[in-house]
Structures are given as structure tokens and as C-alpha cells.
């Protein structure tokens, strides 16, 4: 049976079980994990009570463009929907030749605002650093950011794009132009690590590291968030206990299960290329917007400030 056939069969089984058992959680699992295009256009999420930080998308773009003197900018294309014409940017801070390449894909879900708002804050921090500062004297990573991955979702505060599709279920078929733009950057950049900032209904921050990602770098990122006093989740957004607070290390079994389902997530796409992914997840239930935004910035900085495997830290230690 093909991937699509297996996914359809499992979707029908779970949908039937949801009806028989009256299990809302299972029904939501079918909708959000197994249905690529569950929306009617960029509709808002009515299943959860998201606490939304304020976002002015035009001001967000202006803030990004204000950093062009410090980074390389490329407009990948524009997404047109209901009178708006919004770009997707590829923003890059190159490092010396041979440095590992990190790609951040932000704004896949437009209603996960803290994950999106973390990007101008992160880039402003990097732009403000003097090149003589120790942590910035010899960048260990060639840093790229693709933002926003889903401009329509960001404009309409929606998980979905203009066709009602969840882009994080489209990185297998690449039926939508937003997903194809991500694929374009991946093919051109050939990243060594991908970081995807997201939010969810869990009880704090946590990081998901796929099987090909470095677990030690993941632990450093989580430790940095904890050191800042930001609560770590003890359960995932599925309600499953985490082996270590704030950290989910996906092994080969989970990876195989996602492949069998044809999940189409960014993580499964990158895994097919042998590239590790960190997904940073803040809690959309929290009204501490600053902590939610900062959790992504702190986690990403912890990785940026760590020497990747096989690369000298450049500090002389």
C-alpha cells in the first residue's frame, strides 16, 4: 500500500474510533496530524484557546527590512491573497567557508505568533553585536532564516494558508507554493541543521530533536531556556510524558512511524535528506508573551553559540 493509501486507511480508522468512543483528543489528532488541508481557507483555530501576542504584519516586515544592512536578503516570491501581496524572505548571515549551515524556517503556522515574533528579535540581537565580542568573533554557523513561511496564515492568524492547507503536512507532496519555496532554499543551501519555531497547547517550552539531530546541542538549548527561568514542559502537546523536562528525542521508531503515515512535516522531509531538525515549542496557553518569544530566541542562540560537532569554538579554550 502506498503512503497515501496508508494515511487514508489510518485516517478512516481513527475517525471511526473517535465517533465510537467520543474521544475529542483522537478527533483532533485526525484533523491536525492526518488531514493536510483541514481548513476552509485561512480560518482561525476554534479548537484551542490561543493566547495571541499582538502582531502587525506590515510592521513585522518593516522591522525585518530595517535589518538589511546587516544581513543578505533575498525575496523568494510573493503570496497573493485577498488584496495582500506578501513576500517570503531568505535572510542570511554567511560564515567562513566550510562552516555548518543552519536554516530556520519560521511562521509555518501563522497563528503561532511567538514563534514568528522571535525572528526579528533574534536578528536584531545578532545585528547589534560588535564583531569584537567573543561570542560573535568567529561565527560557527552559516545562518539562514526563511520567514514567514506562511504569509497568508500570518495575515489571517491561521494555521492554514490561502487554500486551507497546513504547510507542515505538505513537505512530501509540495502542492503549495509556500512549501515549494522552502524546498527551493533547502536544495540551494543544503543545510546541516534545520530549526522550526512553533507553539502548542503543552504546559511549557520543549524542544523536539529528530533522530539525525545532535542530542547534546538539543540539551544545551533546553538548559539555556531553563536557566532563563522559563518553565519547561513535562508533557508534549499530545499529552505524553517527556523523558526529560523540555526535551523530546525522537528515535528511529518514531521516525519510521512518521514515514509510514506519510506525515509530510518539515522534520520528516529533512530526515529523508539525512538532516536533523530541532522544533522549538512554546506554550500558546501562556499569557507571558515575552517569555514565549524569548524561549525561541534563547534556544536558538544556545545552538548558535555552541560549536557544532567537529568545529572549533574559536574561543581558544
CA distance 281 to 273: 23
Residues 56, 30 within the same domain: no
pTM for the whole structure: 0.90
Residues 45, 138 within the same domain: yes
C-alpha cell at 236: 508534549
Residues 131, 193 within the same domain: yes
Q: How many domains does the chain have?
A: 2
Give tens-digit pLDDT for 17-34: 444 434 556 667 778 888
Q: Is residue 13 part of a domain?
A: yes
CA distance 235 to 42: 29
CA distance 287 to 289: 6
Does residue 138 surpass a pLDDT of 90?
A: no
Q: Is residue 317 part of a domain?
A: no
Residues 5, 117 within the same domain: no
Its domain, for residue 18, covers: 1-35
Q: Is residue 127 part of a domain?
A: yes
Contact 168, 33 (CB under 8 A): no
CATH of the domain at 134: 3.40.630.10
Residues 292, 213 within the same domain: yes
Average pLDDT over residues 48-69: 97
Measured over all CA atoms, what is the biggest interatomic distance in the chain, rounded to whole angstroms?
A: 64
Residues 164, 226 within the same domain: yes
Residues 166, 51 within the same domain: yes
Q: What is the mean pLDDT of the chain?
A: 88
Residues 102, 25 within the same domain: no
Give tens-digit pLDDT for 67-125: 999 999 999 999 999 999 999 999 999 898 899 999 999 999 999 999 999 999 999 99
Residues 15, 83 within the same domain: no
Amino acid at each position: 500500500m502506498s503512503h497515501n493509501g496508508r494515511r487514508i486507511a489510518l485516517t478512516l480508522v481513527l475517525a471511526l474510533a473517535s465517533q465510537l468512543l467520543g474521544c475529542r483528543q483522537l478527533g483532533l489528532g485526525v484533523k491536525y496530524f492526518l488531514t493536510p488541508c483541514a481548513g476552509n481557507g485561512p480560518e482561525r483555530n476554534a479548537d484551542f484557546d490561543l493566547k495571541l501576542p499582538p502582531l502587525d504584519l506590515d510592521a513585522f516586515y518593516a522591522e525585518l527590512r530595517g535589518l538589511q544592512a546587516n544581513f543578505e536578503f533575498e525575496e523568494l516570491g510573493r503570496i497573493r491573497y485577498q488584496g495582500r501581496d506578501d513576500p517570503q524572505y531568505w535572510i542570511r548571515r554567511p560564515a567562513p567557508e566550510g562552516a555548518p549551515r543552519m536554516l530556520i524556517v519560521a511562521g509555518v503556522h501563522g497563528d503561532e505568533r511567538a514563534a514568528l515574533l522571535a525572528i526579528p528579535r533574534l536578528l536584531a540581537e545578532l545585528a547589534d553585536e560588535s564583531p569584537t565580542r567573543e561570542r560573535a568573533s568567529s561565527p560557527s554557523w552559516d545562518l539562514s532564516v526563511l520567514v514567514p513561511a506562511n504569509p497568508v496564515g500570518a495575515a489571517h492568524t491561521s494555521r492554514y494558508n490561502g487554500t486551507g492547507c497546513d504547510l507542515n503536512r505538505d513537505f512530501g507532496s509540495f502542492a503549495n507554493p509556500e512549501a515549494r519555496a522552502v524546498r527551493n532554499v533547502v536544495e540551494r543551501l543544503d543545510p546541516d541543521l534545520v530549526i522550526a519555531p512553533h507553539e502548542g497547547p503543552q504546559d511549557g517550552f520543549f524542544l523536539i530533536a529528530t533522530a539525525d539531530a545532535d542530542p547534546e546541542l538539543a540539551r544545551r538549548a533546553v538548559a539555556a531556556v531553563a536557566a532563563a527561568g522559563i518553565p519547561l514542559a513535562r508533557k508534549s502537546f499530545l499529552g505524553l510524558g517527556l523523558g526529560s523536562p523540555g526535551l523530546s528525542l525522537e528515535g528511529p521508531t518514531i521516525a519510521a512511524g512518521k514515514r509510514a503515515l506519510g506525515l509530510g512535516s518539515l522534520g520528516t522531509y529533512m530526515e529523508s535528506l539525512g538532516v536533523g531538525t530541532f522544533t522549538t515549542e512554546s506554550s500558546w496557553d501562556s499569557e507571558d508573551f515575552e517569555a514565549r518569544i524569548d524561549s525561541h530566541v534563547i534556544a536558538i542562540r544556545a545552538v548558535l553559540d555552541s560549536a557544532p560537532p567537529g568545529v572549533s569554538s574559536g574561543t581558544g579554550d
